[in-house]
């Protein structure tokens, strides 16, 4: 019998190994953490703070003091609140449908197989990435009633152009026209939708004798309806958040004709020491946007076609 | 045997969220406002703890936030800072200038809320009361009481109201100026039209007649206007007050623009735009890059302007613009009441160097060299009476501004609107209606009737 000498082999405990799903989760959350932390710090945190401030008399330079629902009650009797809401609602009702129609029209044109179409797509998209301040300054000139290009062109047609930004009756409509500058973003989404419409559907309809308009209305529009719904919702949200243009071009004037909701909110917060009231305004805006989105979603049922649904 | 439970994703998220939220709340909590320990020489003023300046100043770095000053003015202030540091061993001044056009008060409010405000900051009329009321400005009365170098009586008494809240001084006045101070006129255009140069004795009717004579029509549109003025609260307060009207009653509880003298003044000046067409609309001014630019480019013959326009006009003179100036005209009954522009320093209540800050603001406004240099940039009337000679030069006499001395001594000739923290908002309410008067969409009487109930509501709101 032989004996072995030396140390007995000791059993080294296997290193605890994490399960695959757990490792994946850690990696996932690690990759997610910059956004998550950013969201919590810069979005959720301020949101919670603003909700609290909305129940406070908060002058910014003095600690907030709880006053219950007084800020919300005050809104009910605030003429400027209604004025800013009316201005913004008018703008939304005018600019959103107009913007969608124009974006769709441009997208259809840029979906044609013509020479240089990629260049045109780029050109049409470019304006939507230009800074809002720069665009506002340029449009202040475009709408200049003496030297602006719009009135110059109208003059060539024998029409005396209005004082776009100087008259209460015209100022808001100038902003509606200006909103078309940013249709490039929506155009790209619709263009992607148009390119996803199966050619075979159009060919079949063509064989059956459907006209171009009939094919557009009965095939193209239903097929891109999810994209239309998406840009409708996003445009409505965006239209309630107009600020830069009004701040730069008119300051809310003349006679509050361009007093957009966000501009009024800003003035309360930073010009008039009413951060508590401004926070309440922000939460009311949140509720309005949420309601508009839900109404749009509900209203779209039966109108939006989801493939495979 | 202990088992370690695997953390679910939901739990992981919840814990992360709580940890971050705790961090956020911790870091966002306003820094405790540093106050001096309440020792013997401490004077408690409402919510503000002020250390009476019995001992020497604090040492270390003191910060100053500057608003709207150009590079030359910043350099002059920097030189003063160096002189101040020399005369105050152990002290250092760090000034942070903000370029013109930036949102100064937005920044100031934010740093105050964050507890990181500078020790001293630029202030001016209309902001002192709300900042004092909300505990962001140090009450300077205790400093005046014990200071051996400066007394409150060294300042022009007629203009102290603009820096006063609750009967106490909350900012150190640097300089004051009436607004809109001058009629600037283009000598070449007046000579060509055979119109006499305006004088300090002119009344509104004189100016209106001259403006009509100087207006050149092309078709039904003026090719050149006789007069240009800005449409904001400084000119329209000057019109209303000079005409014997007002925007508020004595105790600032009611809007009184509905009285004929108030809205009558607005209608008078609106008629220059709407009826006479001798003055451009606001949008025409905007189209021409502003009122002063219209004046500099011969598009108008006269400009109801401000003291801070002087530098730009002197520059234009080097490029051939031959202009003169006199004080803004009196109302037709001979009265003239200006709006009071005020430059001043505020000291933050959270400052740990309040004594040093007091030394700084006191030395700034009393140092002849600094005020003389300040006058080259802002051309304003020094708040300290003894420094009047720095303002009264040949240049100011040529501008007709020697008459400002009489104005400063008479509170009826220079004032500011009141309503404290509410003025900024109320002025926008007035402005919205006045816009319509100057576009001809409403009469001034109707505008006043429409706006006053809203203003009354705002005045009544606690």
pLDDT tens by residue, B339-363: 999 999 999 999 999 999 999 999 9
Q: Model's pTM, two decimal places?
A: 0.82
Alpha-carbon distance B372 to nearest alpha carbon in chain A (angstroms): 33
Average confidence score pLDDT of chain B: 86
Q: Which residue of A has its CA nearest to B25?
A: A45
Q: Name the band, by pLDDT with cuts 50, 70 and 90, for residue B9.
A: low
Q: Name the band, by pLDDT with cuts 50, 70 and 90, for residue A180.
A: very high
pLDDT of residue A12: 54
pLDDT of residue B56: 81
pLDDT of residue B34: 38
- pLDDT tens for B286-302 read 888 899 999 999 999 99
Residue A164 domain-assigned (yes or no) = no
- CATH no. for residue A75? 1.10.3720.10
Q: Do domains B42-177+340-404 and B182-327+419-460 have the same CATH topology?
A: yes
Contact in structure between B57 and B353 (CB atoms under 8 Å): yes
A144 interface with B at CB cutoff 8 Å = yes
A142 interface with B at CB cutoff 8 Å = no
pLDDT of residue A10: 55
| Helix ranges restricted to H, chain A | 20-39, 45-53, 70-76, 79-109, 117-125, 132-142, 149-156, 168-179, 183-195, 199-207, 212-215, 221-223, 225-239, 244-249, 261-266, 275-300
pLDDT of residue A301: 85
In eight-state DSSP terms, residue B50 is E
Q: Name the band, by pLDDT with cuts 50, 70 and 90, for residue B42.
A: very low
Contacts 24+ apart (CB under 8 A), B192-201: B193/B301, B195/B301, B197/B324, B197/B326, B198/B302, B198/B326, B198/B329, B199/B326, B199/B400, B200/B326, B200/B327, B200/B400, B200/B403, B201/B330
Q: What residue spans define the domains of chain B?
A: 42-177+340-404, 182-327+419-460
Q: Which residues of A touch B428 (CB under 8 A)?
A: 252, 267
Question: B42-177+340-404 belongs to which homologous superfamily?
Answer: Periplasmic binding protein-like II (3.40.190.10)
Alpha-carbon distance B283 to nearest alpha carbon in chain A (angstroms): 5
pLDDT of residue B239: 97
- pLDDT tens for B211-227 read 999 999 988 889 999 99
Does A13 score more than 90 pLDDT?
Answer: no
pLDDT of residue B7: 46
Name the residue with higher pLDDT: A302 or B165.
Answer: B165
Residue A244 domain-assigned (yes or no) = yes
Domain of residue A212: give its range: 70-129+183-300
> What is the C-alpha radius of gyration for chain B, rounded to an integer number of angstroms?
26
**Enclosing H/E stretch for B64:** strand B60-67
pLDDT of residue B215: 97
The verdict on a CB contact (< 8 Å) between B287 and A147 is yes
In this complex, the residue of B283, B288, B441 whose CB is nearest that of residue A165 is B283
pLDDT of residue B55: 55
pLDDT of residue A30: 94
| Percent of chain A clearing pLDDT 90 (strictly above) | 75
Q: Return the number of other C-beta atoms located less than 10 Å from residue A14's C-beta.
A: 6
The verdict on a CB contact (< 8 Å) between B20 and A255 is no
pLDDT of residue A194: 94
Does B24 score more than 90 pLDDT?
Answer: no
Q: Name the band, by pLDDT with cuts 50, 70 and 90, for residue B445.
A: very high
Does B45 score more than 50 pLDDT?
Answer: no
Q: Which residue of B has its CA nearest to A251?
A: B428
CA distance B119 to B63: 5
Nearest to B181 by CA among B428, B374, B407: B407
In this complex, the residue of B25, B106, B439 whose CB is nearest that of residue A166 is B439
In this complex, the residue of B25, B113, B454 whose CB is nearest that of residue A79 is B454
Count of domains observed in chain A:
1
- The topology (CATH level 3) of B182-327+419-460 is D-Maltodextrin-Binding Protein; domain 2 (3.40.190)
pLDDT of residue B76: 92
Q: Which residue of A has its CA nearest to B421?
A: A272
Name the residue with higher pLDDT: B457 or B410.
Answer: B457
Residue A235 domain-assigned (yes or no) = yes
Contact in structure between A55 and A66 (CB atoms under 8 Å): yes
Residue A36 domain-assigned (yes or no) = no
The verdict on a CB contact (< 8 Å) between A163 and B134 is no
Alpha-carbon distance A134 to nearest alpha carbon in chain B (angstroms): 15
Does B36 score more than 50 pLDDT?
Answer: no
pLDDT of residue A15: 59
pLDDT of residue B14: 59
């Amino acid at each position: 019998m032989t004996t072995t000498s030396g140390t007995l082999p000791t059993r080294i405990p296997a290193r605890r190994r994490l399960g695959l799903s757990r490792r994946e989760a850690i990696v996932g959350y690690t990759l997610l953490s910059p956004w998550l932390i950013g969201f919590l710090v810069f979005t959720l945190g301020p949101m919670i703070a603003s909700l609290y401030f909305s129940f406070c008399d908060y002058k910014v330079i003095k600690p907030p003091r709880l006053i219950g629902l007084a800020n919300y009650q005050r809104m009910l009797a605030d003429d400027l609140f209604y004025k800013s809401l009316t201005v913004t609602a008018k703008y939304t009702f005018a600019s959103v449908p107009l913007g969608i129609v124009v974006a769709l029209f441009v997208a259809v044109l840029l979906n044609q197989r013509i020479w240089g179409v990629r260049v045109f797509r780029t050109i049409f998209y470019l304006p939507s990435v230009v800074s809002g301040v720069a665009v506002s300054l340029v449009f202040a000139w475009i709408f200049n009633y003496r030297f602006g290009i719009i009135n110059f062109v109208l003059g060539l047609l024998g029409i005396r152009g209005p004082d776009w930004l100087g008259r209460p009756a015209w100022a808001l409509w100038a902003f509606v026209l200006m909103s078309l500058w940013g249709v490039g973003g929506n155009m790209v989404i619709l263009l992607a939708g148009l390119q996803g419409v199966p050619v075979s559907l159009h060919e079949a309809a063509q064989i059956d004798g459907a006209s171009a308009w009939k094919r557009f209305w009965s095939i193209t529009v239903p097929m891109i309806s999810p994209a239309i719904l998406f840009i409708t919702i996003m445009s409505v949200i965006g239209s309630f958040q107009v600020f830069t243009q009004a701040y730069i071009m008119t300051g809310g004037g003349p006679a509050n004709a361009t007093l957009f909701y966000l501009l009024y909110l800003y003035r309360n917060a930073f010009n008039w020491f009413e951060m508590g009231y401004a926070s309440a305004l922000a939460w009311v805006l949140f509720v309005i946007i949420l309601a508009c989105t839900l109404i749009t979603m509900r209203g779209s049922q039966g109108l939006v076609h989801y493939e495979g649904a | 045997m202990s088992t370690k439970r695997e953390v679910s994703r939901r739990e992981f998220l919840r814990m992360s969220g709580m940890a971050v939220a705790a961090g956020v709340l911790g870091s966002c909590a306003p820094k405790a406002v540093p106050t001096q320990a309440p020792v013997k020489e401490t004077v408690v003023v409402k919510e503000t703890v002020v250390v009476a300046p019995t001992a020497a100043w604090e040492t270390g770095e003191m910060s100053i936030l500057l608003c709207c000053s150009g590079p030359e003015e910043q350099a002059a202030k920097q030189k003063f800072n160096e002189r101040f540091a020399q005369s105050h061993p152990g002290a250092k001044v760090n000034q942070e200038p903000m370029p013109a056009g930036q949102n100064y008060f937005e920044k100031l409010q934010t740093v105050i809320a964050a507890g990181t405000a500078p020790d001293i900051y630029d202030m001016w009329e209309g902001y002192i009361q709300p900042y004092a009321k909300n505990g962001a400005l140090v009450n300077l009365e205790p400093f005046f009481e014990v200071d051996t170098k400066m007394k409150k009586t060294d300042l022009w008494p007629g203009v102290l109201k603009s820096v006063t809240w609750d009967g106490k001084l909350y900012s150190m006045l640097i300089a004051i100026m009436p607004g809109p101070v001058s009629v600037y006129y283009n000598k070449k255009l007046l000579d060509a039209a055979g119109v006499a140069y305006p004088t300090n004795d002119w009344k509104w009717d004189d100016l209106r007649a001259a403006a009509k004579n100087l207006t050149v029509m092309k078709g039904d549109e003026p090719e050149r206007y006789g007069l240009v003025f800005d449409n904001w609260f400084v000119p329209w307060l000057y019109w209303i007050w000079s005409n014997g009207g007002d925007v508020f009653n004595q105790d600032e509880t009611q809007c009184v623009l509905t009285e004929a003298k108030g809205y009558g003044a607005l209608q008078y000046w609106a008629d220059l735009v709407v009826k006479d067409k001798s003055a451009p609309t606001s949008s025409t001014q905007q189209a021409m890059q502003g009122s002063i630019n219209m004046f500099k480019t011969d598009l108008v013959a006269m400009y109801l302007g401000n003291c801070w326009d002087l530098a730009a006009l002197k520059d234009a003179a080097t490029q051939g613009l031959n202009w003169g100036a006199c004080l803004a005209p009196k109302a037709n009954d001979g009265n003239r009441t200006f709006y009071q522009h005020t430059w001043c320093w505020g000291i933050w209540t959270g400052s740990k160097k309040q004594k040093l800050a007091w030394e700084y603001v006191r030395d700034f406004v009393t140092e002849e060299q600094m005020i003389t240099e300040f006058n080259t940039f802002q051309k304003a009337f020094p708040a300290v009476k003894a420094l009047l000679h720095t303002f009264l030069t040949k240049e100011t006499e040529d501008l007709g501004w020697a008459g400002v001395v009489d104005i400063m001594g008479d509170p009826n000739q220079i004032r500011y609107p009141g309503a404290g923290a509410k003025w900024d908002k109320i002025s926008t309410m007035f402005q919205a209606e006045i816009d319509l008067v100057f576009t001809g969409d409403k009469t001034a009487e109707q505008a006043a009737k429409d706006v006053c109930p809203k203003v009354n509501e705002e005045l009544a709101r606690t």
